[in-house]
A and B are shown apart, each in its own frame.
Chain A
Amino acid sequence: MLLLKNLRPGGRHGIASGESRDAIGFAVAALNRLAQSDLLDRVGLRKQAEQTVFTVTRGGFRTATMAGRVFARAGQRGRVGRRAADAPSRGVFDLTPSEDEQMLVDVVTELATEVLRPAAAEADVACAAPGEVLTAANEIGLPLLGVPESLGGISEERAVVASTLVAEALARGDLGLAVASLAPGAVATAIATWGTDEQQQTYLPAFTGDDVAAAALALTEPRPLFDALDPHTTARRDGDDLVLDGVKSMVPRGADAELFVVGARLGDTNVLVIVEAGTDGLTIEADPAMGVRAASLTTLSLEGVRVPASNVLGAPDVPLGQVYAECVRLSRLAWCALSVGVGQAVLDYVTPYVKEREAFGEPIAHRQSVAFMVANIAIELQAMRLLTWKAAARAAAGKDASREIALARKLCADKGMQIGLDGVQLLGGHGFVKEHPVERWYRDLRAISIMEGGVLL
């Protein structure tokens, strides 16, 4: 019986599989199930809930991906695409951004302050980024940050440092909206960094024109102890095609995306595969999470999805497995940069708060237990920033940054979460309610070290 099957404990509603239900438990669960069913709605027993953003806020609603624009094949198959040059390294220890980088940061900071922050709370509830935010991000050219000038982008050299600073500045406004804004750029950057001439000519025009395509880099899979270097999504060769099967989770703006880059295992190599939305077998499901909600997170299912074998991202200049590993690393680093921005937002917010909030006749900032928490936020945050910058500068210069990225990720995950935790704690009960943004930052900061893909430097 279907109803009973649905009532079986294990893996759902946060109930571990070891739990068992007794008779009363079954009855209560059945009643609850009935209360939730749309039967009540059909007979008009309950007011239709207002769900303007039904598809993105409710899990369990699966739909085919949107068939978007037609990507006209162009360029030469298999030929190495154009590459941004490595940033020159002078060998001088320096913490000063270049003039161009600073200008970019100033512009993005304004966007984050004037547009992202005011829109953040509503976007978090709606699980969607307002059109104005995405338009503004596209107008600044965020999707093109990682695309070299020769391909219609804006950078002359590997823009890993610039992208790091931009991600940090954006997330200082809001993490969810930052991820929504940066998602298309992740795909553009991946194609620009590793694509063949054909892949670049076919897909990059969708990002360099006026009407920037929504797109998503899908690397995460929904299982405990997920290891990005061990994807269970498979790619199987069938003649000139690849057939993809698997599930990807935490895919930002998956419902709007016209293009995906999906991580999969091909034989014994990990590969990135370009998949156009609307391809048969591709379905999308809203999957709202604890945080990063404004990025409209989704789960992407691939069942027998057939793409040309030439859609494996990568050219003869870099082995495919290395392309995949590099992509995983640079995506992790992007999350580090984002965590620094959110951490800064927390510090910016709690600093005036603890000086204004009074208890026992004086500002709580006058107490060491409070003041030291703020000091530690400042110390660890700066350390997170320096580790992230070090890794970014190495990557930009074409040096191996795998160690530095791993260290940055560890520190940003641990200390970032502590900052989120302390941010709420410093506001006490007020931190727990949505009147203040610290509870959102708490939820957002848990994403660091869990998210793979979505953003890329």
Chain B
Amino acid sequence: MAINLDDPKKLVPLRDQAHQVAMNMLRPISRRYDAAEHEYPQELDLLAAMIDGLSESGASSGAGASGVKRDASADDGTVKNGTNLASVLGIAEMCWGDVALLLSLPRQGLGNSAIASVATPEQQERFAGVWASMAITEPDTGSDSASIRTTAVLDGDAYVLNGEKIFVTSGERSDAVVVWATLDKDLGRAAIKSFVVPKGTPGMTVERLEHKLGIKASDTATIRFDNCRVPVDNLLGSPEIDPAQGFAGAMATFDNTRPLVAAMAVGCAQAALDLTRDLLAQAGVTVDYDRPAVVQSAAAAKLLQLEADWEAARLLMLQAAWMADNRLANATEASMAKAKAGRMASDVTLSCVELCGSVGYSEGELLEKWARDSKILDIFEGTQQIQQLIVARRVLGLSSAELK
């Protein structure tokens, strides 16, 4: 055991491969699907097939939306650099290419992460290869996900779902939706369960797609459930309402997906930083790492600060993923990574637009797009404020009743 925070040697090829894919497949279509909101990026089908192939061959080191699960193999006492690290490294590179297209990748939805995190082995097998999106938010319930109103009532061999879900990423394109619903509103958090609802199930309708500030290539749907019958076996994990376990089951997904969203922020910000560094160099401004910021130009000093913040978020992201790989509880670190990466990405992408002036603001470059795309990363999978709340409660040792 020895402290080392460089990217894992064995995952460098995967990271570099993802970078090449992002550069050569995503970047060329990045602006096009930003402009053509709601148009399906058909190029992604080929890419998804390629990713499946790599995954099958083992060449992808388990990276991807399903890579967030905890390794169940016996602990041999060695330090692991596994699928969680592979996933954040790969996703960051893909989002260096385009966040929205990454979110649109078939079979790489957040629903897939949820299935990987909480499904039983039988369900894992049954839902393998399914493209699953995630439906939590409701018109009146955002961050406060414990108070969702969508209900699931047991009726024979099926649960009957009723309610409305909004902001479902890839909600129209996916094969199935993982829906959060409550078995009994009076029993609070413990009664909230997630259900896999295949597309085409009667009673489930995609009502509309949102027009958004950014990540326009990703479809964001509103889905309604009217007496939608879902087989009992599609309830992920245990159907028991266990107040002691409370919300933990459903929330376990977040511990695993937050580092992924941090990775998206890291990738998006890196895109802006890389291009800005290049544009500023052409304008005669470079950062000298050995000289104090105060003796360099304001632009160089700013770039140094942005890069330091970026590196900070990236290392927090790697830490959270590394802990998951090594089966250490990482709820605090996952939220730290998401909080830092979310605010960093906003600061970095917006500052890069400012540094590059009208070149940054114009649609002629992608800097303005990244500055629009980044905003959602400080919102979905838990806003900046929710992450701070989680970190604060854990650091201070306060309950949700004490620190509201």
Residues of A within 8 A of B (CB): 87-99, 101, 161, 225-229, 325, 328-329, 347, 351, 354-355, 363, 365-366, 368, 371-372, 374-376, 378-380, 382-384, 386-387, 389-390, 392-394, 397, 399, 402-408, 410-411, 414, 449
Contact = CB atoms under 8 A, between A and B. Distances in A.
B126 interface: no
B4 to A, nearest CB: 5
Contacts, number: 180
B132 interface: no
Given A94-B1, A383-B316, A411-B308, A402 B79 contact: no
A44 to B, nearest CB: 49
Contacts of B307: 407, 410
Contact of A374 (B7, B309, B396): B396
B244 interface: no
Contact of B396 (A371, A379, A407): A371
A97 B5 CA distance: 12
Contacts of A96: 1-3, 79
A328 B290 contact: yes
Contacts of B283: none
Given A92-B8, A366-B403, A378-B395, A87 B2 contact: yes
Given A366-B398, A387-B315, A407-B308, A93 B322 contact: yes
Given A379-B336, A411-B309, A92 B398 contact: no
Contacts of B9: 90-92
Given A92-B4, A94-B4, A378-B391, 7 more contacts: A92-B81, A355-B396, A365-B402, A365-B403, A366-B403, A379-B340, A386-B316
B403 A368 contact: yes
A226 B295 CA distance: 8
A392 B398 contact: no
Interface string B280-303: 000000010111111100000000
Contact of B8 (A91, A97, A386): A91
In order of increasing CB-CB distance, the 5 nearest A-B pairs are: A91-B9, A383-B312, A406-B289, A390-B5, A371-B392
A399 to B, nearest CB: 8
Contact of A393 (B4, B319, B391, B397): B4
A97 B1 CA distance: 6
A365 B398 contact: yes
Nearest to A101: B3
Contact of A225 (B290, B294, B402): B294
A455 to B, nearest CB: 17
Contacts of A375: 339, 388-389, 391-392, 395
29 contacts: A91-B4, A91-B8, A91-B9, A93-B4, A93-B6, A93-B8, A93-B85, A94-B3, A98-B2, A229-B290, A351-B395, A365-B398, A366-B402, A371-B388, A371-B396, A372-B388, A375-B392, A379-B391, A382-B316, A383-B315, A383-B316, A387-B315, A390-B311, A393-B3, A399-B6, A402-B290, A403-B289, A406-B290, A410-B307
Given A94-B3, A374-B396, A383-B315, A366 B404 contact: yes
B138 to A, nearest CB: 24
Nearest to A162: B3
B312 A386 contact: yes
B248 to A, nearest CB: 21
Interface size class of B (residues with CB under 8 A): 35 or more
Nearest to A91: B9
Interface string B372-404: 000000000000010011011101111000111
Contacts of B311: 387, 390, 404, 407, 411
Contacts of B271: none
B312 A411 contact: yes
Interface string B111-133: 00000000000000000000000
Contacts of B385: 368, 372
A343 to B, nearest CB: 13
B396 A386 contact: no
Contacts of A88: 2
Given A92-B9, A325-B290, A375-B391, A390 B2 contact: no
Contacts of A387: 308, 311-312, 315
A104 to B, nearest CB: 13
A392 B319 CA distance: 16
Nearest to B7: A93
A228 B292 CA distance: 8
Contact of B290 (A101, A161, A329): A329
B318 interface: yes
Nearest to A363: B402
Interface string B301-335: 00011011101110110110010000000000100
Contacts of B336: 378-379, 382
B10 interface: yes
Given A371-B398, A393-B4, A386 B290 contact: no
A355 B7 CA distance: 39
Given A94-B79, A411-B312, A392 B3 contact: yes
Nearest to B398: A365
Contacts of B5: 93, 95, 386, 389-390, 393
